[in-house]
């Protein structure tokens, strides 16, 4: 069965075509600069990359160009679009409505639209992508929405409620939603398989450390807590996002620097985090290099990231009454041995015996990086959100 996975942004559409029976990626690419000029990068497996700069005035044209590339006699990987059994769409926000992926119908589209205020940058683009596929693909091709928030919908009210006036939280649906759910779901299931253990029996802390970073506590087969909140700004400090700060800093800066709400939003999301602290970069490779060359603020940013991550791990262990497995994933979690080590250092009191002889130099591979005697098993599990979306899509349409 062939499944197309699409991740639409406001001016882009990333895609991968999977043969789900083998897990192979048949082709992947990115349609960028939609509505500006247009650039389609397309890479069929085993063949050369192909770039087209034909104009892409809207997402419908972009989807049509993607499909044309997939069936192209020269670069194509299928002979007809009818071979695409279903399309899986990454959708940022399913609000309080969806705790699972769903086959798209009019009600689902209504909910995605209702959640525009909660995901103003992503949800409109996600819906445009769904509608573009409906217009361009043969009638009846199922579309599946896989929500970034869905996995976290099992959190209990004490974990997701903010201490605001209750009526206001209800009026605006203000609560912790959490994000990266597809990744947390994938790596938590995958680590149970990898260790040959039953998912429901494990207390797992998943650490998705990338440009955006979040943690999840999984117990009894359900997400119990997560570090991102109403928006992906909360939790640990990130590439350019503050993470949790004293909320009083916001009105303080707005008053003293005369920032508008939009300027404040930009500062919190795009000018802060390890980039803001270091003044060097949001990229952890640049930060490590600068810190090793003696840049104190780069070192401080890395220390803050490790310290905040360690505190979240400790708090989730407390929340679950212990932890059996800690999993590192995403760009930093999979590739940065120093950060994994720094986050686990000092956790011996709760049963972590880290094994740096395995950890050092390990990149992008499934592995156990704790000692065999460790009460807590620490693992690296590379995430694969696109494959997870394809698998969810297949499960629903089969």
Q: Shortest Cβ distance from residue 287 to ligand AMP (Å)? A: 8
CA–CA separation, 81 and 195 (whole Å) = 39
Among 179, 284, 305, 328, binds ligand AMP (CB under 6 A): 284
| 186 lies in the site for ligand AMP, by CB under 6 A | no
| 328 lies in the site for ligand AMP, by CB under 6 A | no
Q: Shortest Cβ distance from residue 115 to ligand AMP (Å)? A: 23
| 335 lies in the site for ligand AMP, by CB under 6 A | yes
Q: Of 13-21, 98-106, 141-149, 325-333, which segment contacts ligand AMP by CB under 6 A? A: 325-333
- Active site amino acids: 148
| 210 lies in the site for ligand AMP, by CB under 6 A | yes
Site string for ligand AMP, 227-266 (x = CB under 6 A): ------------x---------------------------
| 336 lies in the site for ligand AMP, by CB under 6 A | yes
Q: Of 28-36, 87-95, 165-173, 326-334, which segment contacts ligand AMP by CB under 6 A? A: 326-334
- For residues 51-70, which are near ligand AMP according to CB under 6 A? none
Q: Shortest Cβ distance from residue 302 to ligand AMP (Å)? A: 11
Q: How many residues bind ligand AMP (CB under 6 A)?
A: 11
| 301 lies in the site for ligand AMP, by CB under 6 A | no
Q: Of 78-86, 255-263, 314-322, 328-336, which segment contacts ligand AMP by CB under 6 A? A: 328-336
| 276 lies in the site for ligand AMP, by CB under 6 A | no
Structure tokens at 90: 């990454």
Q: Which residues bind ligand AMP (CB under 6 A)?
A: 210-211, 239, 283-285, 330-332, 335-336
């Amino acid at each position: 069965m062939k499944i197309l996975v699409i991740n639409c942004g406001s001016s882009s559409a990333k895609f991968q075509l999977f043969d789900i029976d083998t897990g192979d990626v048949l082709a992947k690419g990115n349609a960028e600069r939609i509505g500006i000029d247009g650039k389609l990068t397309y890479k069929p497996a085993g063949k050369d990359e192909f770039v087209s700069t034909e104009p892409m005035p809207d997402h419908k044209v972009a989807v049509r160009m993607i499909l044309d590339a997939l069936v192209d006699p020269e670069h194509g990987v299928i002979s007809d679009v009818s071979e695409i059994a279903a399309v899986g769409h990454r959708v940022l926000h399913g609000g309080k409505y969806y705790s699972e992926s769903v086959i798209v119908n009019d009600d689902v589209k209504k909910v995605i639209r209702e959640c525009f205020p909660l995901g103003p940058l992503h949800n409109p683009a996600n819906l445009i992508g769904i509608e573009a596929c409906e217009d361009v693909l043969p009638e009846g091709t199922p579309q599946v929405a896989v929500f970034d928030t869905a996995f976290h919908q099992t959190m209990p009210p004490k974990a997701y409620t903010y201490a605001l006036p209750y009526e206001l939280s209800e009026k605006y649906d203000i609560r912790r939603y959490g994000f990266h759910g597809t990744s947390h779901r994938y790596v938590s299931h995958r680590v149970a398989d990898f260790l040959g253990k039953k998912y429901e029996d494990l207390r797992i802390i998943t650490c998705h450390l990338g440009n955006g970073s979040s943690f999840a506590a999984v117990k009894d087969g359900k997400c119990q807590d997560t570090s991102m909140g109403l928006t992906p700004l909360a939790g640990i400090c990130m590439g350019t996002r503050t993470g949790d700060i004293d909320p009083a800093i916001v009105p303080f800066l707005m008053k003293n620097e005369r920032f508008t709400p939009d300027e404040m939003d930009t500062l919190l999301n795009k000018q802060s985090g390890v980039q803001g602290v270091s003044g060097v970069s949001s990229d952890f490779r640049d930060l490590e290099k600068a810190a090793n060359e003696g840049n104190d603020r780069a070192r401080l940013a890395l220390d803050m990231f490790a310290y905040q991550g360690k505190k979240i791990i400790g708090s989730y262990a407390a929340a679950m009454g212990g932890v059996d497995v800690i999993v590192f994933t995403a760009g930093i979690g999979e590739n940065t041995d120093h950060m994994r080590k720094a986050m686990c250092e000092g956790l011996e009191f709760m049963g972590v015996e880290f094994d740096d002889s395995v950890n050092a130099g390990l990149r992008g591979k499934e592995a156990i990086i704790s000692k065999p005697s460790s009460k807590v098993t620490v693992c690296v599990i590379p995430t694969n959100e696109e494959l997870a979306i394809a698998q969810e899509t297949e499960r629903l349409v089969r």
